[in-house]
Structure 1
Amino acid sequence: MRAAAERVRDHVLRTPLLPLEIGGVRLWAKPECLQTGGSFKLRGAANRLLQLSPEQRSRGVVAFSSGNHAQGVAIAARRLGIAATIVMPADAPAVKRSATLAAGARIVDYDRGSESREEIGARLARDSGAALVPSFDDVDIIEGQGSAGVEIGEQLQDVVGATPDKVLVCCGGGGLSAGIALALPEAEIVTVEPQGWDDMARSIDAGRPVPVPDDAPPTRCDALQTKLVSPLTLGALRDHGARGVSVREDETAAAMAWAARHLRLVVEPGGAVALAAALTGKAGPLSERSVVVLSGGNVDPVVYADILKGHSGTV
């Protein structure tokens, strides 16, 4: 984990720890929404691509993502001179699609409801000889995401003289939460997911991957719409003793508005669920050694304006 953090040090931003107060308790936010590309995903992508051989780099890379991993891979690939193809859902937020194209990647659309992005990505990689870069089910990706946890440990030691006792992490496939769990073995890890899409929480309880049900409710948290976690991320979290909670759509929206007002930060729905769990008390008691990860800030401007307008008087 520390080797990965050192490897990506010059390729990612060292995002700050920001103080915040909830219920009279001072704690900390790790704003990965300020990361290059607008989310933590550049960390894992950079760690994966930096370890490709020259021959592998010449054949390009393929990834599948609703947007944040797409941007992370596209940015890392452009910096290293690697051609990138991204499999994206046709209904991905326009802001994420345009940013991925601007980073120089080629986009292949798919239907989120009827097609498998994994199958499409595997086929494209097989046909072209490109390296497949998974969004979370990969050791190098997990270790790269864990560089955020390494930073959290170092930064909290500097400001309070101790390591974290609790870290709240937004969770889709679990790459970020698994990486942070491995980087901070003494901290309690709480994964946070949208209500109805809390497959990691249910998988931890069951001890095996449990898929999201077919009748899962709609959610604005497109970054967290992973239908099945991997044994790799689940195993890391289960062995760590992590637990999971879920939050409602209105709680997530209120957290986005709270972040705008109190932290002056733009946070996307999927990047705000951990904050929502802190604000609602669903993550349990908090302390000055608690950290909330704001995992992304790539939100459609129209959607964001609508959420802020709807919650202007509630925070």
Structure 2
Amino acid sequence: MTDAAPARTPAEEAAAAPHADLPHLRAVGDELDPSQLGEEAAALAQELPRGSAPTLARIEAAREVVSRVAEVTPMESSRFLAEILGSPVHLKCENLQRTGSYKIRGAYNRISRLTDEEKARGVVAASAGNHAQGVAFAARELGIRATIFMPVGVALPKLQATRQYGAEVILRGHTVAEPLLAAAEFAAQTGAVLIPPFDHVDVITGQATLGLEILDQTPAVETVVVPIGGGGLISGVATALKLRAAEEGRTIRVVGVQARNAAAYPPSLAAGRATEIEITPTIADGIAVAKPGLLNFDIIRDSVDEVVTVEDDDTARALLLLLERAKLVVEPAGAVGVAAILAGLVEDAGRTVVILSGGNIDPLMMERVISRGLAASDRYVKLRIMLPDRPGQLARTSQIISEANANVVEVLHTRHGRGLQISEVELEVSVETRGPEHTGEVVQRLRDAGYDPRLQRD
């Protein structure tokens, strides 16, 4: 097998010109006025096409390239999700991919297609997460110098992994916008080639190889559920699935899923163009992108059947389910497809594959998300109970909860709560239960004993 890059069309050569990726910074959603970039970078930011949607032949060629570094990740069946949906459900485990996400596919394909002169200049990227690791790993495998700009507050495991893959990491600023700006300036000053996270045909083509892999492992698939941030993964996967299905004379339904607090695609699709939204905090930070990629948007508009949005509580429940039932560690952004099934947002349209797009989650974030998932599943509840201020009441309520086979985790006892009578105390009890029915049983036992417990929703 030769390592020579496939021949490019004239349009592709234009798109691969020095700094051709600079315009795609603005697709990430952080405001990047070209005037902020300095004269050279601002001039570069006025250029160039991103390419067009990949052909099936190009995706198949990319598969040969990507196979040098990417694993064929497992496809696992889920009986629990199948019972909810009403059709077989399979989990495509890109959380088990090298570097912990699908991102290595697009990064490696893009970097491998650089000319020798471009490779000699090195590559640069900006990211707080999986894209950084994908670019760092791909560059190392190809013997290319990589510089990655990351925000100062990036999670330590992601920072360490990116450095261990051989990249020079430069910490800059406290938001994603500042590393993006720094990467653009670095590219303009040094000649390094900027590797975009999603809005480039080579990146999309690399991600599309995952679609072919799904068809190999589950030939009878009828629906594929895919997380969406900027749109690199779903635009590639949808292209591969639709093109192959058309050859076979059938259809495959593609459903995209976004976090509700960072859902740029529904309003963009309604408007008929990529529009920018204001993001509010979400646990699915890996797909929190304020504006769709422009090429990605065009492909998604034509090839994706539906885009749904999920609440953070549903995502937390999904992460907990995957951990407990499937024994899989998945980051919140990678679990939104499962969240959509749990929330009843995916129509039963036959055999379904859900892509688990990544598994890079900080342990501290994992702890918080698990707690939220337990609360969202009514397995960790807080009860507020007003008690008469006399000896034995705390022991009595604890005994009632214990006799219901629930576990008291934490107790807060106060005489100074707002609205308390002089002869009352307030008890706030954190309790572990087996779920909604068991929680209801605990509450009913307390009521039968003469108390008036109130469930607290955080």
Q: Which residue in 2 is equivalent to 1:104?
A: 166
Equivalent-residue separation in structure 2 for 1:144 and 1:256 (angstroms) = 26
Corresponding residue SS for 2:100: coil
Q: Which residue in 2 is equivalent to 1:264?
A: 327
* 1:82 aligned to which of 128, 135, 144: 144
- Scaled by the length of structure 2, the TM-score of the pair is 0.64
**Does 2:348 correspond to 1:285?**
yes
Equivalent-residue separation in structure 2 for 1:54 and 1:183 (angstroms) = 29
**Does the CA contact (< 8 Å) of 1:192 and 1:277 recur in 2?**
yes
Q: Which residue in 1 is equivalent to 2:194?
A: 132
Q: Which runs of 5+ in 1 are unaligned?
A: none
* 1:226 aligned to which of 271, 289, 295: 289
Instruction: Give 1:11 deviation, angstroms.
Output: 1.4
- Report the residue type matching 2:316 in the other structure: A
Identity %: 39
Q: Which structure ranks higher in relative contact order (CA pairs < 8 Å, sequence separation ≥ 6)?
A: 1
Q: Which residue in 2 is equivalent to 1:210?
A: 275
Please show how residues 289-300 of structure 1 align to structure 2 within 5 Å. 290-300=352-362
Instruction: Give 1:310 deviation, angstroms.
Output: 4.3
**Does the CA contact (< 8 Å) of 2:93 and 2:356 recur in 1?**
yes
Equivalent-residue separation in structure 1 for 2:100 and 2:224 (angstroms) = 20
Equivalent-residue separation in structure 2 for 1:115 and 1:45 (angstroms) = 20
**Does the CA contact (< 8 Å) of 1:125 and 1:131 recur in 2?**
yes
CA offset digits 1:56-96 (Å, max 9, x no partner): 22211001112101000001111111111112222322221
**Does 2:216 correspond to 1:172?**
no
Corresponding residue SS for 2:262: coil
Instruction: Give 1:117 deviation, angstroms.
Output: 4.1
Instruction: Give 1:114 deviation, angstroms.
Output: 8.2
CA offset digits 1:252-293 (Å, max 9, x no partner): 1110000011111000011111110112111222532x1100
Equivalent-residue separation in structure 2 for 1:69 and 1:167 (angstroms) = 23
Q: Which runs of 5+ in 2 are unaligned?
A: 1-58, 243-250, 380-433, 436-458
Instruction: Give 1:6 deviation, angstroms.
Output: 1.8
CA offset digits 1:94-135 (Å, max 9, x no partner): 221111111111223333548454432221112111111000
Q: Which residue in 1 is equivalent to 2:211?
A: 149
Q: Which residue in 2 is equivalent to 1:12?
A: 70
- Report the residue type matching 2:253 in the other structure: E
CA offset digits 1:177-232 (Å, max 9, x no partner): 0000100013222111111211022212221112122xx32112221121211210
Corresponding residue SS for 2:73: coil
Equivalent-residue separation in structure 1 for 2:153 and 2:350 (angstroms) = 39
Instruction: Give 1:53 deviation, angstroms.
Output: 2.0
**Does the CA contact (< 8 Å) of 2:151 and 2:176 recur in 1?**
no
- Report the residue type matching 2:263 in the other structure: D
Query: Against the structure 1 CA distance between its residues 227 and 311, is the aligned structure 2 distance closer, same or farther, given a 3 Å change threshold?
Result: closer
Equivalent-residue separation in structure 2 for 1:114 and 1:73 (angstroms) = 17
**Does the CA contact (< 8 Å) of 2:152 and 2:173 recur in 1?**
yes
- Scaled by the length of structure 1, the TM-score of the pair is 0.92
Equivalent-residue separation in structure 1 for 2:197 and 2:252 (angstroms) = 24
**Does the CA contact (< 8 Å) of 1:191 and 1:201 recur in 2?**
no
**Does 2:333 correspond to 1:276?**
no
Instruction: Give 1:5 deviation, angstroms.
Output: 1.3
Instruction: Give 1:7 deviation, angstroms.
Output: 1.5
**Does the CA contact (< 8 Å) of 1:37 and 1:72 recur in 2?**
yes
Equivalent-residue separation in structure 2 for 1:178 and 1:226 (angstroms) = 15
Q: Please, which moves more after superposition, 304-313 or 186-195?
A: 304-313
- Report the residue type matching 1:264 in the other structure: K
**Does the CA contact (< 8 Å) of 1:221 and 1:269 recur in 2?**
yes
| Structure ID, larger Rg | 2
Query: Against the structure 1 CA distance between its residues 191 and 116, is the aligned structure 2 distance closer, same or farther, given a 3 Å change threshold?
Result: farther
Equivalent-residue separation in structure 1 for 2:274 and 2:182 (angstroms) = 22
